[in-house]
Structure 1
């Protein structure tokens, strides 16, 4: 995937004279950069003679993050690159001005490092941050502009780190755990599950003020994997905020991500990158073609092999859970035919029935068949992000979808006895209201189609 720096061009204009190119090395290669999430690690406080140490520290971090769920299952969705930034001096600044200096035994120091990384950020000793934000942007633009997430690794043996757009961590105690926690913030927008203070308290994947177990966003996980609705504290503003778990990595270092955070990470992965690595044929114009004709998709499978494929030919299901099919002459009509495959992830790390968003990728081939055989095949890939909420609901629910290409998308609602009770067209990019005033309370199935391709099927509960 590529992360354009459009909003930062003005910063680049004023900092370009300070930018510099450095050696870039790929230390984890799962595929083409434009088909992967690109994690870029920049060093600070590493001199030219210490770049080997930087490579080792970066490799240790890669081993740590992809050894933990769900990054371990989705490792093939990521490439990792390092930018070998050279500092004039080794280490990080420590002015010794924090209010909690007495709790730490760290010498005061002034270091000529590249990004100005320093302890004592905002009055807290352990808050290690890189204040030269515009220079980070400039180095990324000059050396690896297609990054999706960048991390600053500071060559210091003392505990410290911080979040923000570019997480920062030292190489000291718990360094890898700090970095993984902070990437949870920066890449996925996970919230702290310790109380972060009133300024940072807000609704998020793993933070809420909702206390109804049937309405809370992690309702599908309640009662399993240690998930419930836990109060941050019992007094003050934080008493009105709740988290899903008591020992998640977003609260304590050294613990795994809780089930709710894992689900959020996977959703972000699917939001950033398609599970389709390639497909064929791409576009094929030919004089004649003999049957059978093969069609295939090459998928980026999680290690748990949880991708599901549904192949549809002219509106009817042709095959499921295969990556390659052969179309016979008897399968197609004279004239234009449509073949599609829809790919979804059915991992047990997501509980999707009441989950708000589903990601679906489709590949559609138009097959022009005449008495002379196939004369033309064209292909198109499309990605859909479909949100359906609230669920359960009283009188209405809302559907919003976005796709790369405009599509004829519709929703069909059926009761549990198989009777269709509603059919409506959905508009892309807006919130579509589905009124249930005429429907009795109970369980329904919402089927969402693009033309004749089934994109998603979700249970809807009317209370």
Structure 2
């Protein structure tokens, strides 16, 4: 679900920056800004005469990013823009105050660049950083307020970068690898898989203090693709923290993201936008005299093979799968008010989470009167989480959807007999008591407005 961004008002000491605008250029346009993830790249330390080189640097990073999974598979989900911000001086500041200066030493510099980036932050030479977030957010607000993630490329040949709200990378050694690694922090909140220090150690997608392989958050990936539970060290506090892989990009540059991190990135992509790009009809004035009625959706396909699955149902009865167009004749409408629904979900093998069939479901529903035609069109993105599964006593269901609708849950025996039902409200977790059910396999169906939007096997043990 596309999240609205709140922009921080800048204090008065920013002065003229508050209204300054710059040249904005799309270097990748996959679709409308409200239906794509908008990555905006800013440059620091580029003179006006060096802005063509900034465009080259940004394009090189973008190409490297979309050559690696999972960004390669989800390239169509992104727009990429650059904002050409000239600096008064070329390069970035190096105060020479860090204790780990490289050999040969980097020249001490004091550079008047636009965003104030500098090496040696927090006593580490490679920490290329700026505290001028207000300047960055102002430039974004004035020039591209619909950004989802921004990234800073610094015109410097020396190794350096940092994460945080805005990932920062130099453009020299390992530039793209640094930027992609830091983007993992900022875009998805992935943790470093080298030990980041006691202050930064915390539970995350790819970091935990859980040691039991059957309970760890990436349990479904254990023993697949070299995923396991690996301590950060053999002693000290670091030994109490665990990572899922020994050679992930979040530990070493030049490696792929591990399966756990790939999954986290894809989940974030689906959190931000729906895979349904457009649909027709969008209006509710289509007359029943226009039979046959044609209904169509366009999806944002994954690459190189589309992993999106589409399922069409009429009045809760499945009628078609994995097609984009359905045609209805008058004889198909058997009751006075009919609901035609299409449900889209991602079947990629890069995701291996429990209840995947009920997570990140996107739907379009047309309400059709068999005498008046299309009367209503409803679009929704659902995130339904069902856990634990298998379950012994209690089944928890968490719902999140943009229209604040309630979902009806029905648990059926394999012969179709309804055994339990419940209503799940938006932004709430509902517990269903299944302790009295016999051990075995059941079907859990999810409905909204009498439309079946998902179905999931439940194992009672």
TM interval, shorter chain, is over 0.9
- Measured after TM superposition, the shift of residue 428 of structure 1 is 1.2
SS at match of 1:338: strand
Which deviations, in whole Å up to 9, do the C-alpha atoms of 1:369-409 show, x marking residues without a partner? 21xxx444421211111122334444323211111113341
Partner of 2:318 in structure 1?
317
Q: In structure 2, list runs of 5 or more residues that go unmatched.
A: none
Output the CA distance in 1 between the equivalents of 2:308 and 2:5: 32
Alignment-derived partner of residue 62 in structure 1: 62
Question: Relative to 1, partners in 2 of residues 1:192 and 1:394: Cα closer, same or farther, differing over 3 Å?
Answer: farther
Deviations 1:108-154 (A, max 9, x none): 00101000110000100000012211000100000000000000000
Q: What per-residue deviation string (whole Å, max 9, x for no partner) do you get for residues 161-201 of structure 1?
A: 00001000000111100110111111111111111112211
Q: Following TM superposition, by how much is the alpha carbon of 1:218 offset from its aligned partner in structure 2, in angstroms?
A: 1.4
For residue 29 of structure 2, what is the aligned residue in structure 1? 29
Task: Tell me which residue corresponds to 1:302.
Answer: 302
1:448, CA displacement in angstroms?
Answer: 2.3
Question: Aligned to 2:10, what secondary structure does the other structure show?
Answer: helix
CA distance in 1: counterparts of 2:452 and 2:213, whole angstroms: 31
Q: CA 1:5 to 1:345, structure 2 compared with 1: closer, same or farther past 3 Å?
A: closer
Unpaired segments ≥5 residues, structure 1: none
Higher mean C-alpha deviation, range 317-326 or range 375-384: 375-384
Aligned mates of 2:201, 2:456 — CA distance in 1: 31
Q: Provide the C-alpha distance between the structure 2 equivalents of 1:453 and 1:255, rounded to a whole number of angstroms.
A: 44
Name the structure 1 match of 2:437: 439
- Structure 2 contact 316–451 (Cα < 8 Å) conserved: yes
Alpha carbons of structure 1 residues 5 and 344: separation in structure 2 relative to 1, 3 Å:
closer
TM-score (norm 2): 0.94
Q: 1:408 to 1:458 in 2, by over 3 A?
A: same
Please give the alpha-carbon distance, in whole angstroms, between the structure 2 residues aligned to 1:239 and 1:204: 16
Q: Is contact 1:215–1:391 with CA below 8 Å preserved after alignment?
A: no
Q: Aligned pair count?
A: 459
Q: CA deviation at 1:160?
A: 0.1
Tell me the CA shift for residue 460 of structure 1. 4.0
How far off is 1:273 after superposition? Answer: 0.6
The answer to whether structure 1 residue 127 and structure 2 residue 94 are counterparts is no
- SS state at 1:351 partner: coil
The alpha-carbon deviation at position 33 of structure 1 amounts to 0.7
Determine the structure 1 residue equivalent to 2:206.
Answer: 206
Q: Tell me: CA distance 1:63–1:339, structure 2 relative to 1, closer, same or farther (3 Å).
A: same
Whether the 8 Å CA contact 2:153–2:170 is kept in 1: the answer is yes
CA distance in 1, matches of 2:358, 2:212: 20
1:313 Cα deviation after fit: 0.8
Structure 1 contact 12–137 (Cα < 8 Å) conserved: no
